[in-house]
A = this chain, B = another copy of it.
Amino acid sequence: MSRTVVAATTDEAVSGVEDGSTVLVGGFGLAGMPFDLIDALIRQGARDLTVVSNNAGNGDVGLAALLRAGRVRKVICSFPRQSDSYVFDELYRAGRVELEVVPQGTLAERMRAAGAGIGGFYSPVGVGTALAEGKETREIDGRTYVLEQPIKGDVALISAHRADPLGNLVYRKTARNFGPVMATAATTVVAQVTDIVPVGHIDPETVVTPGIFVDRLVRAEARRLTVQGAR
């Protein structure tokens, strides 16, 4: 998409998100979670959101804070239940949020399909389980596959390590997780990064997300949260 905009504030970076949007939220637990963009989204006020993310919030921060603020109608994720997912658990048990559980790799691949112009794909994962119920199956070379559909976002909120002003991104260790996939799969992609370096300062061989995928970029201090406990 056209030129990446470097936003001055996180509020500017998330402006215009509409009620009812599908929002892809990066991160695996706390690693790679775009905390500042989520906080800005809470201030921005969009409601009735469908959130696609691996988890459904940890503790009181990030996605959990968005859930607590009552902005989320539905969560599509692979692993909502965690030792510290009490905000989601309470809303879910009270029937105040819908849940679609998707196998983790299928979640990633469905977003990749959206970003890659693939209309659907046959996956062997989940065949014969409750998560394939109602889905079309097909025998290919003696193996059974289930037809999976793309998941496309209106907005993606991701966190990366470093960017240049063209929107080229590099990540750090396992915080890379869903960021590169989500960056391909949403109409508007917003990335928070700890550092914006001049054009030419990122080795072209090491770019993970090329700037073509990134619409808005904003600098935000890294939060050094300690991650503990089982997923």
Contacts and interface: CB of A to CB of B under 8 A. Distances in A.
A43 interface: no
Contacts of A172: 205
Contact of A120 (B109, B117, B122): B122
Contacts of A173: 204-205
A121 B124 CA distance: 13
Given A206-B205, A206-B206, A119 B117 contact: no
Interface string A131-148: 000000010110101000
* Number of this chain's copies in the complex: 2
Contact of A121 (B120, B205, B206): B120
A170 interface: yes
A177 interface: no
Interface range, A side: 20 to 34
A123 interface: yes
Contacts of A143: 119
Contacts of A122: 118-121
Nearest to A139: B119
Given A120-B121, A171-B205, 8 more contacts: A119-B141, A119-B145, A120-B122, A120-B145, A140-B149, A170-B205, A173-B204, A173-B205
